[in-house]
Structure 1
Amino acid sequence: MTERLTWIQQEIEGLKENGLYNRIRTIGSPQGAWLIVDGKRVLNFCSNNYLGLANHPRLIEAAREILDRYGVGPAAVRTIAGTMEIHLELERRLAAFKKVPAAITFQSGFTANLATIPALVGKEDVIFSDELNHASIIDGCRLSGAPIIRYAHCDPTDLERVILENQGKYRRALAVTDGVFSMDGDIAPLDQIYEVTSKHGVMLMVDDAHGEGVMGKGGRGIVDHFNLHGKVDVEVGTLSKAFGVVGGVVAGDPLIVEWLRQRGRPFLFSSAVTPPDVAAAIAAVDLLEESTDLVDRLWENARYFKAEMKRLGFDTGKSVTPITPIMLGEAPLAQQFSRELFEENVFAMAIGFPTVPRGKARIRVMISASHSRDDLDKGLEAFAKVGKKLGVI
């Protein structure tokens, strides 16, 4: 280590001392209700695999079949030689599933936000952003160069206040919010936000990463949940959570989709999503269009687990979705709780600053349709044991 890098070592030591150092565990099995983690079989309460599709036989078979037809990688960006027939098929299928005229796919939900926000606004414009928006939204806003004005979390009244305070100071305005907030599991009041933005001529964008496959009829997302079809200008989603694959999608107005094909920088300058991933994503859409069973099971599991956790005396915060935060306060306690759970064969990671504010550390439990009732009961038993041991309940 050279002297000019000693500051990094000091920063890392500071993270360790404050219980904020992220020790990354290693998975040695396919995703599912149970995993092999660091060589140990544990109950999985960490993955965003809401519907259990990451290891679904139909997705695996679809990926295998397309692998033989198209190979491993696209070998080019979409605008040169990377757009394959299956990319366009996936975009058509996602648009139909989301009940919008058009959709465009990206390498991830993160890059979808990085592509979209700078393409819509610049230095002469303004962004009104929920104060708890995801890091990818924050980074997309920064890349745009537009002034960023935060409004109070999930507060349409405060959004209108900041819009009125800034009228006449910008060329264009964009309001952006998460649909489902990934750390707290609460949802944006998108219907009320739409009323405010439409009243004042502000573009509206929602990042529905944790709502895709979860909210709305058969998992069609938060726009469907609030019946706002044709009213939200931009709906960003991901294929890496409920869909069980990888990739991002922007759905909505066909004019915006066309513009992103011309000016979305990750679309222009990073290789296309691989053919097997595209095929698996199409298979996921097939499953969701065929039946609501997986979505229904996810919500049934979530309701049961959250009710039992509250009965045990745990604080599950403001969540109204399958995301279940177990609020613990300080990061060292959350990390100790996670380690104790792992000893009880439950994999549930601690989350602390800077992912969440200081003093709001937690264990975030991600419920899945792949969990059986017996799995959930085993998890509840472990939480009760550790919670009593550490004086949380």
Structure 2
Amino acid sequence: MNMSWQDHLQRQLERLQVLDLRRRRGGLLPRIQAKNDSRTHDTTATRLIDGPLDFGNNDYLGLRQHPHIYTAVQETLQRCGWGSGASPVLCGHHTLHSRLEQALAELNQVEDSLVFSSGFACNLGVLSCLLDQDSIVFSDQLNHASLIDGIRLGRSDRVIYNHCDLDHLKSQLKSRRAQYQRSLIVTESIFSMDGDQAPLLQLAELAGQYDSALIVDEAHALGLFGTRGAGLLEEMQLSDQVLLKLGTLSKSLGGVGGYVAGCSVTMEYLVNRCRSYLFSTAPPAAAMAAALAAVELLPSLCAIRTQLLEQARALRTRLSDMGWTVPSGRSPIIPLVIGEASDAIALSRRLGQQGIYVPAIRPPTVPNGTSRLRISLSATHTTQDFDRLCSVLGPAATKAV
């Protein structure tokens, strides 16, 4: 590497280190054991052994180790091998890709869907493809980085409205919308770092009032809300009020990949114009088989969803009563807002020393001054796990190391 570049990058890393913002690869590498557990759909739940109790992953329904998914992957590997070998518009699109896309379309009550290699690639590609100089986009302040970057790559003007602030959004729509041919409002349904919920009903009403289309990212709602686990749009009966639904295969579905769901015309346009779809090797057929198996399980997991959301409510209340700053919400994402990055890191390390993994989330993932521990609940957690977490955390007054 050119030394001037290497020196520059080294200085940037050192700066991040001083600010307590440097990330490193790694994390948890424990062995994972599957065991019978009647709480999780009478099949298997995952428990970490030879490693810490994990409150850091997004495997909300505990499907990573489900035997139905294991079987689907193993059978597909034997039949198809691993890699897909090419772009989906060449020869990389397998029958399993089509079956999964059909299943996702049916789950989301739309005409069609497209599967991508990751949720980030999906959001980046879809938004940058749709937005042009004749359009404007209104984006929530706390939208995920993949949505932010997709909007930045698009050629449209953009407005960032204050987080879930309907008055601010309405004022911006009123002053800016009429200047453009087309308009998009983009939001997550459940926000990934705060665990709070977007005001979807009011957003849909504003979209209709100001002739704007609504795009909703259901990454952290899929599997958890709605009678069939399709997400918050299903729960609120708003599925027909949005242009596109964005989602992931890597959280509640326990796999890897992302998807967009909507009308067939939009999907065909994306097939022809979305660069992260056109110029990427298609996801492996075995990964599609895993996701399809997970989607097929979702309607049967209503009791698991209900129990998990009740556990999240109870833990939020318990932590708040202990003096911790816990934003309101219904999801299994429970942030403990600490403030400074160094304090969040110190508390995460203290928990780690006691055998509990809760990641410290720092800028730029969250705004300055709002570093936090992000507690993520799973159907595999037990009441004893929550008791242990609260015992080691202790009252907020004792958070200093």
Match of 1:111 in 2: 121
Residues 183, 356 of structure 1: 8 Å contact kept: yes
Deviations, residues 223-248 of structure 1 (Å, cap 9, x unaligned): 11221121111000001001000111
Aligned match for 1:89, one of 90, 99, 116: 99
Q: CA deviation at 1:78?
A: 0.5
Match of 2:221 in 1: 211
After TM superposition, list the pairs within 5 Å mapping 1:300-319 onto structure 2.
300-319=310-329
Residues 27, 35 of structure 1: 8 Å contact kept: no
Match of 2:7 in 1: 6
Worse-superposed segment, 90-99 or 27-36: 27-36
Residues 327, 362 of structure 1: 8 Å contact kept: yes
Aligned match for 1:355, one of 325, 347, 365: 365
Aligned match for 1:169, one of 158, 165, 179: 179
| Identity in percent | 37
How many residues of Structure 1 are paired with residues of Structure 2 in the alignment? 388
- Decide whether aligned partners of structure 1 residues 33 and 55 sit closer, same or farther in structure 2, where only a CA change above 3 A counts: closer
Mapped to 2, the partners of 1:219 and 1:290 lie a distance apart of: 9
Mapped to 2, the partners of 1:372 and 1:118 lie a distance apart of: 42
Mapped to 2, the partners of 1:344 and 1:162 lie a distance apart of: 48
2:297 aligned with 1:297: no
After TM superposition, list the pairs within 5 Å mapping 1:1-393 onto structure 2.
2-24=3-25, 25-30=27-32, 34-35=47-48, 41-384=51-394, 387=396, 389-391=398-400
Deviations, residues 140-178 of structure 1 (Å, cap 9, x unaligned): 011112111111111222222111211332222111111
Residues 336, 372 of structure 2: 8 Å contact kept: yes
- Decide whether aligned partners of structure 1 residues 269 and 30 sit closer, same or farther in structure 2, where only a CA change above 3 A counts: farther
Q: CA deviation at 1:14?
A: 1.6
Residues 74, 82 of structure 1: 8 Å contact kept: yes
Mapped to 1, the partners of 2:28 and 2:359 lie a distance apart of: 13
Q: In structure 1, the residue corresponding to 2:134 is in which secondary structure?
A: coil
Worse-superposed segment, 25-34 or 223-232: 25-34
Q: TM-score, normalised by structure 2?
A: 0.92
- Alignment gaps of 5+ in structure 1: none
Mapped to 1, the partners of 2:183 and 2:75 lie a distance apart of: 45
- Decide whether aligned partners of structure 1 residues 155 and 253 sit closer, same or farther in structure 2, where only a CA change above 3 A counts: farther
Q: In structure 1, the residue corresponding to 2:52 is in which secondary structure?
A: strand
Q: CA deviation at 1:347?
A: 0.3
Letter matched to residue 176 of structure 2? N
Q: CA deviation at 1:263?
A: 1.4
Residues 301, 369 of structure 1: 8 Å contact kept: no
Q: In structure 2, the residue corresponding to 1:68 is in which secondary structure?
A: helix
Q: CA deviation at 1:291?
A: 3.3
Residues 186, 320 of structure 1: 8 Å contact kept: yes
Q: CA deviation at 1:86?
A: 0.7
Letter matched to residue 51 of structure 1? L
Mapped to 2, the partners of 1:336 and 1:238 lie a distance apart of: 31
Residues 115, 140 of structure 1: 8 Å contact kept: yes
Worse-superposed segment, 264-273 or 3-12: 3-12
Mapped to 2, the partners of 1:257 and 1:384 lie a distance apart of: 50
Letter matched to residue 348 of structure 2? S
Letter matched to residue 350 of structure 2? E
Mapped to 2, the partners of 1:47 and 1:26 lie a distance apart of: 10
Residues 312, 330 of structure 2: 8 Å contact kept: no
Q: In structure 2, the residue corresponding to 1:148 is in which secondary structure?
A: strand
Residues 46, 65 of structure 2: 8 Å contact kept: no
Q: CA deviation at 1:389?
A: 4.1
Mapped to 2, the partners of 1:148 and 1:332 lie a distance apart of: 33
Q: CA deviation at 1:391?
A: 4.2
Residues 323, 367 of structure 1: 8 Å contact kept: yes
Match of 2:37 in 1: none
Mapped to 1, the partners of 2:103 and 2:8 lie a distance apart of: 49
Residues 230, 252 of structure 1: 8 Å contact kept: no
Q: CA deviation at 1:73?
A: 1.1
Mapped to 2, the partners of 1:193 and 1:388 lie a distance apart of: 39
Q: TM-score, normalised by structure 1?
A: 0.94
